[in-house]
Chains A and B, each alone.
Chain A
Amino acid sequence: MSKLPEKERMLGMYRQMYLIRKYEERIYYLFLEGIMPGTIHQSTGQEACAVGMLYDLRKDDYMASTHRPAGHDLAKGVTLTSMMCEMFGKEDGCCRGKGGAMHTGDMEVGALVANAIVGGNMPISAGVALAFKMMKKDNVIVCFFGDGATNEGAFHESLNAAAIWKLPVIYVCENNLYSATTSIALTCNKPNPAADRAIAYDIPAEVVDGNDVLKVNEAATRAIARARTGEGPTVIELKTYRHGGHSRNDACQYRPKEEEKAWFDRDPVKNFRSYLLSQKLVAEEELQTIEKSIESDVDQAVEYAQNAPFPQIESALTDVYWEGK
């Protein structure tokens, strides 16, 4: 756990949450304007999950994300510019334009290439954790997945393996109530699809308010400590909510308006901002300065990415096999 003074820690978390919010907002508009290629699965509304879980990881710890990776990647330290370039399919992208919106990541900062097969990152994370254990390293990996992934065979096979081998992996379910457009209540009888099932594998599980970054961070601290000291895996189920649709064409007509309103009132970024002010940890002016600076960073990243060169087309035929670099 970081020993930063309270204010610095809090502002650090807020900075990351605000960056994710502005990044996703900007991406959304670039799509509406038809400037950006591909599709998007945005994490707006789930910023506290990413930041709370990852804030105290070391750089050499790892994180495995999903088809909704931007928040996780930014919180783990993938650079804003390399993310933005990847979104535009540019050579300077974190995956040199070969990954795209659903496969961002950067091994240099411990962010695995994000995985767009639901549950696909779960056994891989068990493998990463097994490697840490075999190499006698004290690293851990945080593996994110959605509520929908808890119905995948990969979820069950991975949890079982992590439990029997006491692997240093933290399985984090971001339960945003919908698997694409299907309510999780229609596809799982348990109220907590990840946490309730974790118990069956003898894995300690916590259900946490995923919109409260400090509560998420406390749960993360406990789980990281367990994993680092060889006590094995933890499942954390974060209750949260997408502000937007599943992907770019989803207008969310399947979600009750009252439900949306209740969750939108619990906006993790705005609420944390109010908390910081109410605790007098920071003054309004100081927050505004931070926010302006982040907005300017995002502007610059967009400008850089738009003007950056595309990859040479010949590069499409390289990297199929790794030949040593």
Chain B
Amino acid sequence: MALLSIADALKSAIAEEMRRDPLVFCLGEDVDIPGGMGGAFTVTKGLGEEFGYERVLNTPISEIMLAGVCVGSAMMGMRPVADLQYGDFLFCMMDQLVNQAAKMCYMSGGKVHVPMVMRAPCGASNRGAQHAQSLEGFFTHVPGLKVICPSTAYDAKGLMKQAIRDDNPVLVFEHKLLYGGKRKEKDAISTIGEVPEEDYTIEFGKAAVRREGKDITIVANLLMNYKALEAAQILEQEGISCEVIDPRTLVPFDYETVVNSLKKTGRLMIVHEDNYNCGWGAQLGSWIAENQIFLLDAPIVRVATYDTPIPFSPVLENYVIPSKERIVEEARKLMKV
């Protein structure tokens, strides 16, 4: 076992896959300029030295090209792992992701596949509205894409390896405040955790139960999973027992783990930093309502970022993003229903 941050776990996953398979390469703006940062968050720093700058390809600031090059090279059998620094820039490459990467397999009648990984740092971190969004929900709406969101070092390495070996386009949402890399972020949470030295992968579509409980099922991803765990500690002192589930991957989604939990608790709270309207929680909520409504003893509660762009002022940002206080308050209300 090694103790790694998420940033180092991701780096180690990419490096091990590059050693294992000569078709894996990484690319992106500033992905590893000597003397640079290694992407915006140090994940790819130093890879160029080991693998050379043909396999660690620094690109122009051309998001359409970056995504298109991933699609084209992937169709020829390469396995690109791209970093676009901030998930917000995904919008600059939407055509290549949604019209191209996601549809190639289908449009060709299953004759083409696109094994590519697009890494998108996400989450609010005092950078204002265009370097802050949590966009997972957008991409869960696109048939043909897989969407994952690792929140621990162990998951980061296992899910990244699985993403690189997957034969479909995979979007990886990595939270800026969870990296724990050398680039220090205000309000960051330490995610240093034990990571096996030996090769392992984590299957997509398997949620993790982070804490067991019997009164409320809280499903929360990325940073919000940590906030939910903090809230659960406070609630425990008040006699409210929360089971906290981390979905880990949004497409495919592990409904079964949520259903099994609801059989115990009968109450569902969904927490995400993605904003409220049509966030991924809306899908989970309606799926439960459609398929398992008789497991519920109370209405489903969604705690999400308010439907605004992310404001800069830390006071405002803290207000719109779900806090542990908001989770606690909503949980108390839910127990009174």
Contacts and interface: CB of A to CB of B under 8 A. Distances in A.
Interface of A: 93-99, 103, 105-107, 112-113, 115, 117, 120, 122-132, 134-135, 153-154, 157-158, 160-161, 164, 318-325
Given A126-B68, A134-B55, 13 more contacts: A103-B108, A107-B108, A112-B112, A113-B112, A117-B100, A123-B64, A123-B68, A123-B71, A135-B78, A153-B64, A157-B62, A157-B64, A161-B59
A155 to B, nearest CB: 10
A105 B108 contact: yes
B108 to A, nearest CB: 5
A325 B109 CA distance: 12
Contact of B73 (A117, A120, A131): A131
A167 to B, nearest CB: 9
A154 B75 contact: no
B32 to A, nearest CB: 16
B108 A127 contact: no
A127 B69 contact: yes
B239 interface: no
28 contacts: A93-B109, A94-B109, A98-B106, A98-B108, A103-B107, A105-B108, A106-B111, A112-B75, A113-B107, A117-B95, A117-B100, A120-B96, A120-B100, A123-B64, A127-B80, A128-B72, A130-B69, A134-B54, A134-B55, A134-B73, A154-B65, A161-B69, A164-B60, A319-B108, A319-B110, A321-B144, A322-B112, A325-B110
B284 interface: no
B316 interface: no
A319 B66 CA distance: 25
B34 interface: no
The size class of the interface chain B forms with chain A is 35 or more
B82 to A, nearest CB: 11
B77 A135 contact: yes
Nearest to B74: A127
Contacts of A115: 100
Given A126-B65, A134-B73, A157-B62, A97 B109 contact: yes
A156 to B, nearest CB: 8
A207 to B, nearest CB: 25
Q: Which residue, B107, B113, B167, has most C-beta atoms of chain A within 10 A?
A: B107
A168 to B, nearest CB: 12
B108 A124 contact: no
B70 A127 contact: yes
Contacts of B67: 123
A324 B75 CA distance: 14
A131 B76 contact: yes
A46 to B, nearest CB: 23
Nearest to A94: B109
Contact of A123 (B72, B109, B167): B72
Contact of A107 (B71, B95, B112, B144): B112
Contacts of B167: 321-324
A117 B99 contact: yes
Contacts of A325: 110
B25 interface: yes
Interface of B: 25, 54-55, 59-60, 62, 64-78, 80, 95-96, 99-100, 104-114, 143-144, 146, 167-168
Contacts of B71: 123-124, 127
Contacts of B76: 127-128, 131-132, 135
B73 A127 contact: yes
A137 to B, nearest CB: 9
Contact of A95 (B25, B60, B111): B111
Contacts of A94: 109
A94 B64 CA distance: 28
A321 B106 CA distance: 8
Given A107-B112, A125-B72, A322-B167, A157 B107 contact: no
A125 B168 CA distance: 19
Contacts of B74: 127
Nearest to A132: B76
Given A128-B73, A322-B110, A123 B105 contact: no
A160 B74 CA distance: 20
Contacts of A320: 105-106, 143-144
A134 to B, nearest CB: 6
B125 to A, nearest CB: 28
Nearest to B115: A322
Contacts of A160: 60, 62, 65
A98 B77 CA distance: 22
Given A120-B99, A128-B76, A134-B55, A98 B64 contact: no
Contacts of B114: 322
Given A99-B108, A107-B111, A321-B168, A154 B72 contact: no
